[in-house]
Chain A
Amino acid sequence: MTVHVKFFASLKELMGCDGAAVEIGEMATVTDVWLAASGGKPMPANVLVAINMEHGDVHQAVHSGDEVAFFPPVTGG
């Protein structure tokens, strides 16, 4: 299945891109998406996750067509 990955802020710089379409097996979690998108890089400890624009966690299952975003702690306001 295909999921759409996005990276923001310092993670965009770390990964060298703002995202990609990633092919991944069925029954995948957010962690699996990270590993596929990053080429196996370890996930920084403070990374936050959103699935389809809602805050989530790395253990959540993903589905075909999902948008999975990875970003550092937020610093707005």
Chain B
Amino acid sequence: MKIRVQSEPLSPWGLLADYEAQLISSHGSGKYGASAVFVGSMRDLNEGDAVQGMYLEHYPGMTEKVLQGMAEAISREWNLIDLLLAHRVGDLHPGEPIVLVAVWSAHRKAAFEACRALMETLKSQAPFWKREHLTDGSQRWVEKNTAGY
């Protein structure tokens, strides 16, 4: 299991390929039958307004602790073989990846459900806050998440 919070740009597909290569070398091939991946990226439009940038604030220490706790709980609940979670902080631009959730399990049911559960738990509990920079020069804090279900 790996959790990372990073201020540098996130390359989810490269990260995923590297992690899966490590996973196969440590667990051996043929140990999992399903993997599910979610990548969330920044849009250039929110609530009808054009957005040119975003600052993602977090609570150093607590953010990592909360992510670790939820990842461990979801791994146990769905009996996952492995899990990778990466989340950006700092300044972002439209199109940049914000979050990567990847899970590996024996069968697809656990993979689909655990990937979604981890993402939804992250959205509701992990201490991150988005401040948008609109194209008209104004800034605002995002106050709520869109519905995930």
Residues of A within 8 A of B (CB): 6, 8-10, 50, 53-55, 69, 71-77
* Inter-subunit contact B119/A77 (CB<8 Å): yes
Residue B72, interface by CB 8 Å: no
Q: Which of B9-17, B18-26, B53-61, B75-83 contacts A (4 or more CB under 8 A)?
A: B53-61
* Inter-subunit contact A77/B123 (CB<8 Å): yes
Complex CA–CA separation, A73 to B145 (angstroms): 9
Task: For B40, give its contact among A50, A73, A77 (CB under 8 Å).
Answer: A77
Which residues on B sit within 8 Å (CB–CB) of A69?
59, 62
DSSP class of B's interface residues: helix, strand, loop or mixed?
mixed
Residues of B within 8 A of A (CB): 40, 56-59, 61-62, 65-66, 87, 98-99, 119, 122-131, 141-145
* Inter-subunit contact A74/B62 (CB<8 Å): no
Which residues on B sit within 8 Å (CB–CB) of A74?
123-129
Which residues on B sit within 8 Å (CB–CB) of A76?
56, 58, 87, 98-99, 122-123, 126-130
Smallest beta-carbon distance B12→chain A, Å: 13
Smallest beta-carbon distance B117→chain A, Å: 13
